[in-house]
Homo-oligomer: A and B are copies of this chain.
Amino acid sequence: MKIDVNQTAKLLENHDNIIILVHANPDGDTLGCGYALLRALRKLGKKAEVLRPENVGRKYTYIYEDLGKEDFEPEYVVSVDVADIKLLEEDARKKYGSKINLAIDHHPSNCVECENLLLEDTAAAACEIIYKVIDALGVGFDKKIADCLYTGITTDTGCFRYSNTTSQTYMMAAKLVDLGADGPGINRIMFETKSKSYVLLEKLVMDTLEMHFDGRCAVVHLDYDMYEKSGSDESETDPLASKTRQIEGVCVGIFLREKQDGSFKISLRTVEPVNASEVCRKLGGGGHARAAGCQCDGPFENAREKILSVVQEYLR
């Protein structure tokens, strides 16, 4: 059942021992949502925990490092920023995938089976929705909650660069900074600081650049052995997806990332009028209008052919 922010707050007030699910390969938005909500629930005197995936990027530790662990038998399951249970880590999916009570999300393609769904697909970040939920809970924002929510908003808007950024996004950022969020510090960690291993990985990936369809489509890919060559790992790959769209004239930027099993995760970044979510849905994926993803079997040549044949239709 679709519910609104106030109904969501009431549900949370009426439950305890809450487990929060975030998506695998977690980004700033899903983590920001999870830990902002956890902090608000604990302030209400409830037991709450985030089921944290294994490969959380080192740069996100400030979001949760001060928190203690709570042991309890989960009674209520909430997913945040999870569009599809396929996007949960395997353990989480097996244990809780069919038992989600409440899903809070901003992906128009959301297909999580759950008792209640709070979906606001005009929100640039799911953290914008969590902001409203915490506001409705009346528990008050502290600096740590503000940091978590700011993180989601800035990462899902590419630091206020993407076309999903609205005046509401800026207004929330202003409020969160007033509430103590360290905007410049978070942006420095998320966008300005590059580890040496990332710099090397980016160089390897950008060396694979291919242009297609008269320069309107750019493709780069990451082979699994590039992690070893660069000293990097999967948690550092997020910024690579948007590199190709930056080149003048490119309408569709494609990043193919090989996984350990030889299959490929494909990330699409587009400019109007190409709808990235529509393209990816044709291959079983989904996402947003300007940023979406899907999976394809390897080898690289196979995955590339699959995605290019769909993209071609949309570039006509």
Residues on A lying within 8 angstroms of B by beta carbon are 154, 159-168, 170-171, 173-175, 177-178, 183-185, 187-188, 191-196, 199, 242, 245-248, 271
Contacts and interface: CB of A to CB of B under 8 A. Distances in A.
Contact of A196 (B168, B192, B194, B247): B247
Contacts of A178: 167
A184 B162 contact: yes
A191 B192 CA distance: 13
A30 B64 CA distance: 41
A167 B161 contact: no
Given A171-B171, A188-B271, A193-B248, 8 more contacts: A154-B160, A160-B160, A160-B183, A161-B192, A167-B178, A168-B174, A174-B174, A195-B248
Contacts of A196: 247-248
A161 B187 contact: yes
A238 to B, nearest CB: 15
B193 A165 contact: no
B184 A165 contact: yes
A174 B183 CA distance: 16
Contacts of A191: 161
A199 B188 CA distance: 23
